[in-house]
Amino acid sequence: MSCNMTCKAFCLTLALLMVALSPALALAEEKAAPPAAEMLLLYDQSNRSLETEDIERFCFMASAMGKRLAFGDVRDFQDSLALYDHVICYRLENVSEESLRAICDYQGELFIFGSAMMKRYLNATGRSELVLAESGFDRGVMEYAFSPSAAFETIIDAEDMILFRTESEGRGAITVNGQAYPFVSQVADARFTPVTSLSTELAQAAVLQELADWLWPYTDPAPDYHQYLVLDSVYPYMDAGILLDQINALIEEGLPFVLSVMPLYANTSYPAMTQLCQVLQYAQQNGGFVVMRAPLIQAVAPDMDEMYAVLTEGLAGYLNQDVYPLGIEVPMQWTYDEFFLTLMQRYRTVFVYDDGTDSGFALDAGRNRLCDNAHQLIMPVIGLDDTRASYLTCYSSAVYLDASQTSAEQIHQLAALMKGERVPFQNLWELNHAVWGDDLSLSYENGALRLNGETVAITYEPKPYDEEYDYQRDIIQRVTVSIQSQNKVLLAITAAVVVVFAMFMIYLRRFNKRSFFYPEKR
């Protein structure tokens, strides 16, 4: 009896202990298990010179290549490095000995940024003889060639330039005080670059190209990705004639193109709107691909269902006019926000543009969640010259032209430059696409366009402009239109009066000069 009571008490105590410890164990397991990713980026959060913008640029690069990137302080990952096939060490020159030992024991693919960290790594692994010379310089001229006809140079920061014995070197070099250092090289078992800042566009483009080469597991060259020429911000009620001239210029140049249209919500039957949609129909029939630009969000805390409804309504306005937006164009800040990432799940094809505003990127995000959605992703180009075209073929990129500021002549000039550089373009009608909305679906697969499961044809039928259209305005709208018309008349009359007054002033000045001012001889 006593033994049974003792066993029961022991079991009860053990059960209570397990219940008490289970949250802590779960938390420890969650912290130990890293997110699934092809790459891990390590940085030193205690490094005061660390730039958050550079970590964000690494996220951009990974997303552009469709690779999942986990990132965090080196101390948080030193026990889990073996779970990643590719590890990037960025600005770890002052890393602790414990973390350095973990990196030295790592058996996967290693990419080290910064000469000081590379030297510490070689010394810690017993290969100090690979350190050849130290210059002490931290700035030089970077040269990089993406192809024989596309070579660029810029000034770049690269702290503590050190010359190492290399096994192979890449496409670029950094010249400091007359000494050339390879931009990227293979030193022992690690890929290495002396670069410590990605502030220049050339550095970003070159690092992106080198990362793509590093990640490619085969000996043959990686397949080329394409660029897409986007006529951006096509607004409802914009001059349909100007848009038609731009489209005809693109058709004449034989360039595949994309039209990014603003959402259409109201007055879809107005003649101006019908005429604009006819131009879009004409573009579709001649190889133009239409995507919808994301609406501007003013609410501090937008509601998900309301946003779904807004996106669906903006899409339906074009579908009713036989225009079929098969993707969405979103600002960069959408790619770092969980709310907007959820919204984007309704679109397979996603264009991303950089509007220059704060993206909302934060180091505590831990990874680039954009790749979780498995989009057909097209990122903005990293422009290196006046064409703003990209010389990178390792990711899909978009060249944006503002529809309100680009003339047909400028399109012809840009097309000539791009053709001269052999930029690879692709027609998006060669790919599959899908869009979902509230109670509607739009898809394009194997050459067939389907709306709600029913096959539809892309057609263009010219229609005359209805000059007698009944706008059904109420009294307030009529008064507003009348006042606007009167204002134009008043402005014209005022301008005429000003011109006449100026002419009289000029005449009176000359008359007074002849009448009251005489030559000295008189």
Choose from 357-361, 374-378, 381-385 the range with maximum mean pLDDT: 374-378
Dump strand ranges (E) for 74-171. 86-90, 109-113, 131-134, 139-147, 150-157, 162-164, 168-169
pTM value surpassing 0.85: no
CB 313 within 8 A of CB 290: no
Residue 296 has pLDDT above 80, yes or no: yes
Mean pLDDT of 447-457: 94
Residue 106 has pLDDT above 60, yes or no: yes
pLDDT at 189: 94
- Phi, psi dihedral angles at 428 (to 5 degrees): -65, -15
CB 332 within 8 A of CB 352: yes
pLDDT at 423: 67
> Which tokens go with 169?
């070197």
pLDDT at 32: 40
Interval 402-423: pLDDT, tens: 998 999 999 998 888 777 666 6
Give, for 257, the enclosing helix (H) or strand (E). strand 257-261
Contacts of 42 (CB under 8 A, 6+ apart): 71, 72, 73, 74, 77, 87, 88, 89, 90, 92, 103
> What distances in angstroms separate CA 1 from CA 7, 135, 177, 195, one per listed residue?
10, 83, 89, 75
* pLDDT > 70: percent of the chain: 85
Please compute, for residue 271, the number of CA atoms within 13 A of its CA located in the half-sphere on the CB side: 9
pLDDT-derived band at 401 (thresholds 50, 70, 90) equals: very high
Please compute, for residue 220, the number of CA atoms within 13 A of its CA located in the half-sphere on the CB side: 2
pLDDT-derived band at 82 (thresholds 50, 70, 90) equals: very high
Mean pLDDT of 55-71: 95
Dump strand ranges (E) for 21-113. 39-43, 69-73, 86-90, 109-113
pLDDT-derived band at 34 (thresholds 50, 70, 90) equals: very low
CB burial string 219-253: b at 16+ within 10 A, e below: eeeeeebbbbbbbbbbebebebeebbebbebbeeb
pLDDT-derived band at 31 (thresholds 50, 70, 90) equals: very low
pLDDT at 36: 66
pLDDT at 421: 65
- Phi, psi dihedral angles at 489 (to 5 degrees): -65, -45
Separation between Cα atoms, residue 89 and residue 108, nearest integer Å = 13
Mean pLDDT of 85-105: 95
pLDDT-derived band at 6 (thresholds 50, 70, 90) equals: low
pLDDT higher for 86 or 136?
86
Write 502-508 long-range contacts (CB < 8 A, 24+). Answer: none
Residue 24 has pLDDT above 60, yes or no: no
Separation between Cα atoms, residue 401 and residue 260, nearest integer Å = 10
The angle at the Cα of 320, spanning 318 to 324, to the nearest 5 degrees, equals: 45
